[in-house]
């Protein structure tokens, strides 16, 4: 009886000792993003509110309760956000330890970022250590949640670039188009006149408009612009009065970005899509054009527009 009790006691002691041995948990997350975009989101701690789910949500709800502070070494940062504290140790520009503190618990993990094996990919190596006992009942998923937040942010064009951007195909196979040069200050009146001429051309040639109006704006020297106005039509007709019908390749690819807002602010999507093309090594063989989805055209810089910006790409 005593031997049996002693044996059970030894087993309990051994299990108690083993249960507190440290166990390392590791995971690798692959992100489709450039090295530059990924690193800039990590090394600048003020960017963590863009992608770290707990920080992002707290910042949106209470911007005044958010702060970032650095120690004198410039390697240990503290982010305070809505009563929760994040202590971040920049071990190297590529490696970080994170401690999440709130009133009830402390969660610790570390991660290292390095280039992926495929072009335009990055890999994040996540590591956290717990006792064997805590590992068996582990509910600490802070590291996975944080780094999947980084992945989602970098891979979602709407989040990262600020606009919905996606690859598409040319939808209008035949375009009746008019090209002319104007002074910038005349653009709204001249565009209106150009559309009237196109509509007269369609009527004279028994053509049917099959889609949205499009306009391309090409800056010239000084304050001049080259304007191309297009109306998609159902068939080819003979050229007349500076207007011709163009047949477009059905297999052509276009990068499409959605924009809603003031006409004067639409340069934001031009900049976003230019960066997208650089990041994804896309080249535009032709000028971008704007498809006006509400089929209206701007009458001034303050006009509200809803459009697609289309870049032919290869």
Concatenated DSSP letters of 73-114: TSSEEEEEETTEEEEEEEEETTEEEEEEE-SS-EEEEEEEEE
CA distances from 77 to 40, 69, 144 (A): 16, 6, 20
Q: Give the tens place of pLDDT for each residue, 164-190.
A: 999 998 889 999 999 999 999 999 999
Task: Kindly list the structural domains of the chain, giving each domain's residue range(s) and its CATH number in brackets, ordered by start.
Answer: 21-155 (3.30.530.20), 166-313 (3.20.80.10)
For the cut 80, the answer to whether the pLDDT of residue 15 exceeds it is no
pLDDT for 130: 63
- What gap in Å lies between CA 38 and CA 123, rounded to an integer? 10
User: How far is residue 159's CA from residue 63's CA, in Å, rounded to a whole number?
Assistant: 19
Mean pLDDT of 252-266: 95
66-95 average pLDDT score: 93
Q: What is the pTM of this model?
A: 0.84
Whether the predicted pLDDT of 18 surpasses 50 = no
Half-sphere exposure of 2 (CA within 13 A, CB side): 0
Give the largest CA-CA distance in the chain.
111
What pLDDT digit, counting tens, does each position of 24-73 carry? Answer: 788 999 999 999 999 999 999 999 999 999 999 999 999 999 999 999 98
Q: What is the structure's pLDDT at 23? A: 60
pLDDT (mean) for 233-250? 92
Say how far apart CA 231 and CA 211 lie, in whole Å: 7
Q: What is the mean pLDDT of the chain?
A: 90
CA distance 39 to 115: 10
How do 253-262 and 106-115 pair as beta strands?
unpaired
Which pLDDT does position 155 carry in this prediction?
98
Instruction: Bin 206: left if φ > 0, else alpha if -120 < ψ < 50, else beta.
Output: left
Angle at 98 between CA 95 and CA 104, to 5 degrees: 170
Residue range 277-301: mean pLDDT, rounded: 93
pLDDT of residue 246: 92
Q: Which residue has the tokens 């934001």?
A: 268
User: Cβ distance 175 to 233 under 8 Å?
Assistant: yes
Residue 19 reports pLDDT greater than 60: no
pLDDT at 6: 60
- Between CA 90 and CA 100, with CA 95 as vertex, the angle to 5 degrees is 65
Q: What percent of the chain clears pLDDT 90, i.e. is strictly above it?
A: 77
**Looking at residue 249, what DSSP letter applies?**
P
Q: What is the pLDDT of residues 93-113, one digit of tens each?
A: 999 999 999 877 788 999 999
């Amino acid at each position: 009886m005593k031997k049996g009790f002693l044996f059970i006691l030894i087993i309990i002691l051994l299990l108690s000792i083993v249960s507190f041995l440290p166990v390392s948990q590791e995971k690798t997350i692959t992100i489709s993003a450039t090295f530059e975009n990924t690193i800039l989101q990590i090394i600048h701690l003020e960017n963590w509110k863009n992608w770290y789910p707990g920080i992002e949500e707290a910042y949106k709800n209470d911007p005044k309760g958010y702060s970032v502070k650095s120690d004198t070494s410039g390697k240990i940062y503290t982010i305070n956000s809505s009563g929760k504290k994040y202590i971040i140790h920049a071990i190297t520009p590529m490696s970080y330890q994170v401690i999440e503190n709130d009133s009830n618990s402390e969660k610790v993990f570390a991660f290292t970022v390095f280039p992926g094996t495929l072009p335009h990919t990055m890999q994040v190596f996540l590591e956290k250590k717990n006792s064997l006992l805590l590992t068996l009942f582990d509910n600490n998923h802070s590291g996975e949640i944080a780094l999947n937040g980084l992945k989602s942010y970098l891979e979602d064009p709407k989040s990262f670039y600020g606009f919905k951007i996606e690859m598409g195909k040319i939808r209008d196979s035949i375009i009746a188009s008019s090209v002319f040069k104007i002074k910038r200050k005349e653009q709204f009146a001249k565009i209106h006149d150009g559309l009237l001429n196109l509509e007269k051309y369609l009527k004279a040639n028994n053509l049917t408009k099959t889609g949205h109006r499009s306009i391309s704006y090409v800056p010239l020297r000084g304050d001049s612009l080259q304007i191309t106005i297009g109306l998609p039509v159902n068939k080819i007709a003979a050229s007349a009065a500076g207007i011709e019908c163009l047949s477009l390749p059905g297999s052509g690819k276009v990068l499409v970005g959605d924009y809603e807002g003031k006409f004067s602010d639409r340069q934001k999507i031009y900049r976003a899509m230019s960066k997208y093309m650089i990041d994804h090594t896309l080249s535009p063989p032709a000028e971008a054009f704007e498809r006006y989805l509400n089929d209206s055209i701007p009458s001034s810089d303050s006009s509200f527009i809803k459009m697609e910006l289309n870049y032919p790409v290869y």
